[in-house]
Chains A and B, each alone.
Chain A
Amino acid sequence: MAATTADGSKVVGGGEKSNVDEESKMITLFSSDGERFEVTQEAAAMSQTIHHMMEDGCVDDEGVHLPNVGSSILAMVIEYCNRHVASPDEKEDIRSFDAGFVNVEHHTLFDIIRAANYLDVKELMDLCCQTVADSIKSKSVEEIRELFGIVNDFTPEEEAEIRKENQWAFE
């Protein structure tokens, strides 16, 4: 069933009902690269940032511009919110969805965390931070640096101490 509206915007939730239906009022979100997304207010409210804007009456007819979030990541965040709003009580399904959701490239995870932080979607932040924490498990210092692309900025003396510290820890 086609759900692209006349002006080319993509409907991503509750699209079969009209916009004036009080139970699934829609809100328009614009990504940093100008793509337009229609979401239910309920799903959008999972973002505390957007929720506060709606409450404070800062959302006009045009919608909400999100200059910090690109379209591909915003689409993912919206998918997450829609799924969690649709069936919040089906814990097994949600868990399975979440596991699949974070099964992405490491740098994509980074983008999602940044977006979730900016949009203040607590559940998504928790999920992503836990995923990153899990990726650190059982790794050596060098492996962690490589995974995260972090440069060693310790002095040689500090590095020697840290090496001994880790030697003791891995004893």
Chain B
Amino acid sequence: MSFRGMLREMKGEVGAISRRGLLRSRTPSVRRVAAVAPEEAARQGCCWAELPPELLREVLARVEEAEPRWPRRRDVVACAGVCRTWRGVVKEIVRVPEESGKLTFPISVKQPGLRDAPMKCFIRRNRTTQTYYLYIGLTEALTDDGKFLLAAHKVHRPTCTEYLISLDRSDTSRGSYGKLRSNFLRTKFTVYDAHPSHAGAMVSKRWSAGNYRVSHVHYELNVLGSRGPRRMRCVMDSIPASAIEQGGTAPTQTGFPFSNDNSSASIPFFKSKSSRMDSFTAPLSTQDQEERQLVLKNKSPRWHEHLQCWCLNFHGRVTVASVKNFQLVATDESAPTNQEHDDTTLQFGKIGKDLFTMDYRYPLSAFQAFAICLSSFDTKLACE
């Protein structure tokens, strides 16, 4: 007998007892029928696929809202893997990190961070395997279990160092996500993305297809030579200077980050709102291109006479003095006085043995920030 049939029979026998408006024709035990009739069992398998789209959206929106933090946020990713319909709905619901401050899908790691506040991450170094692991913090603490984002494996070559960056912590040999490459002197570093950040990205002639230049970092001694903190200048090839102006935007990647070939199946779908990006194919020189690239420079520390050291205010996020520590701010080099922005775009610093914090914000992505920080590990310019 079907569940419905049993219910009807119960109602017929007991009748509807009215007491303060309560329907008492069924006892609770009837509702939880242990044995499911065959026709009901057959229905079980197929009915949810017919859920109206607005209801599916209601359900999935609740899942997304309930899990803002990792590790539980994995539920949102699981829902996006169920079927095409579910994936479409989840992708509509999940907002980019720039708006929500949340990292959800692996592609989030290549999307700009929050505009108004830093995204707080930390890096663990394994000296034995020469591997660096980037995590986003789960709490406000300097470090916790964290959610793994990226791994980078250092490779020594005769004329340079390379850091191969991957989403797979167990396999960093191919650098399928991107790479950082130094020059011979380890004073200049170039960051390459395995996928283009925008439609007109230039493919480096020196590398195989699938490597797009993202930024380059240059280290210099300052006027005090090795007695002062080194200077960093970071040019973001993929981000226009206008990105940090009122109403500006930075390119936002979407699509699958895993395939590292250029087949049509893996061509990403771009969300860049600026049509000016299509003409952004110029090389390093800042004079020829139509669009100025964003330049980040390290904030100048102040000499603390009493403590006899160079000091920067890291707002409690960096606790161990180290030449590697830095804060990068956007700089308008076209202005006569080299105008520095107040907001720190990227901050990096030591908090323990082989443990570092990395705080980044718009227009940088976690990937770009990580690569820039890796250069700080590698450069040989030190100060006494």
Mark A residues whose CB is within 8 Å of B: 1-4, 10-16, 40, 43, 70-72, 75, 78-79, 82-83, 85-86, 100, 103-108, 110-111, 113-114, 117, 125, 129-130, 132-133, 136-141, 144-145, 148-154, 157, 160-171
Nearest residue in B to A73 (C-beta to C-beta)? B4
Q: A161-B258, A171-B148 are in contact. Are A117 and B55 (CB under 8 A)?
A: yes
Write the nearest CB–CB distance from B348 to chain A, whole angstroms.
23
Write the nearest CB–CB distance from B211 to chain A, whole angstroms.
20
Q: Which residues of A contact B8 (CB under 8 A)?
A: 71-72
Q: Which residues of B contact A1 (CB under 8 A)?
A: 17-19
Q: Do the beta carbons of B7 and A12 come within 8 Å of each other?
A: no
Q: Do the beta carbons of A141 and B31 come within 8 Å of each other?
A: no
Q: Which residues of B contact A150 (CB under 8 A)?
A: 48-49, 82-83, 86
Whether B158 sits at the interface, judged by CB under 8 Å, is no
Kindly identify, within residues 22 to 44 of chain B, every residue whose CB is under 8 Å from any CB belonging to chain A.
22-23, 25-26, 28, 31-33, 36, 40, 43-44
How far does the alpha carbon of A75 sit from the alpha carbon of B259 in the complex, in Å?
53
Nearest residue in A to B2 (C-beta to C-beta)? A72
Nearest residue in A to B65 (C-beta to C-beta)? A133
Besides the contacts A1-B17, A137-B72, A150-B48, what 7 more A-B pairs have beta carbons closer than 8 Å? A2-B15, A72-B4, A105-B36, A106-B48, A133-B60, A148-B49, A163-B81
Q: Do the beta carbons of A72 and B49 come within 8 Å of each other?
A: no
Q: Do the beta carbons of A105 and B40 come within 8 Å of each other?
A: yes
Question: Which of B11, B18, B33, B75: most chain A CB closer than 10 A?
Answer: B18
For the complex of A and B, list the 4 residue pairs with the smallest distance between their C-beta atoms, beginning with the closest: A149-B45, A15-B18, A133-B62, A169-B77
**Cβ contact of A10, chosen from B16, B28, B44, cutoff 8 A:** B16
Q: Which residues of B contact A13 (CB under 8 A)?
A: 18, 21-23
How far does the alpha carbon of A168 sit from the alpha carbon of B47 in the complex, in Å?
31
Q: Do the beta carbons of A149 and B46 come within 8 Å of each other?
A: yes
How far does the alpha carbon of A130 sit from the alpha carbon of B21 in the complex, in Å?
26
Q: Do the beta carbons of A162 and B49 come within 8 Å of each other?
A: no
Q: Do the beta carbons of B74 and A3 come within 8 Å of each other?
A: no
Q: Do the beta carbons of B22 and A4 come within 8 Å of each other?
A: no
Nearest residue in A to B52 (C-beta to C-beta)? A117
Nearest residue in B to A82 (C-beta to C-beta)? B21
Q: Which residues of B contact A105 (CB under 8 A)?
A: 3, 33, 36, 40, 44
How far does the alpha carbon of A144 sit from the alpha carbon of B45 in the complex, in Å?
12
Question: Which of B7, B17, B80, B169: most chain A CB closer than 10 A?
Answer: B17
Q: List 28 A-B contacts (CB under 8 A).
A: A1-B17, A1-B18, A3-B17, A4-B16, A75-B23, A75-B26, A114-B52, A117-B52, A129-B58, A133-B62, A136-B63, A136-B75, A136-B79, A139-B78, A140-B78, A141-B78, A144-B78, A144-B82, A149-B48, A150-B48, A150-B86, A152-B82, A161-B256, A161-B258, A162-B80, A164-B167, A165-B105, A166-B74
Q: A153-B84, A161-B256, A165-B106 are in contact. Are A129 and B59 (CB under 8 A)?
A: yes
Q: Which residues of B contact A4 (CB under 8 A)?
A: 15-16
Q: Do the beta carbons of B79 and A70 come within 8 Å of each other?
A: no
How far does the alpha carbon of A86 sit from the alpha carbon of B11 in the complex, in Å?
22
Write the nearest CB–CB distance from B13 to chain A, whole angstroms.
11
Q: A13-B21, A75-B23 are in contact. Are A110 and B48 (CB under 8 A)?
A: yes
How far does the alpha carbon of A43 sit from the alpha carbon of B115 in the complex, in Å?
48
Write the nearest CB–CB distance from B179 to chain A, whole angstroms.
19
Q: Which residues of A contact B48 (CB under 8 A)?
A: 106, 110, 148-150
Q: Which residues of B contact A163 (CB under 8 A)?
A: 81
Q: Do the beta carbons of A10 and B11 come within 8 Å of each other?
A: yes
Nearest residue in A to B60 (C-beta to C-beta)? A133
Q: Do the beta carbons of B83 and A153 come within 8 Å of each other?
A: yes
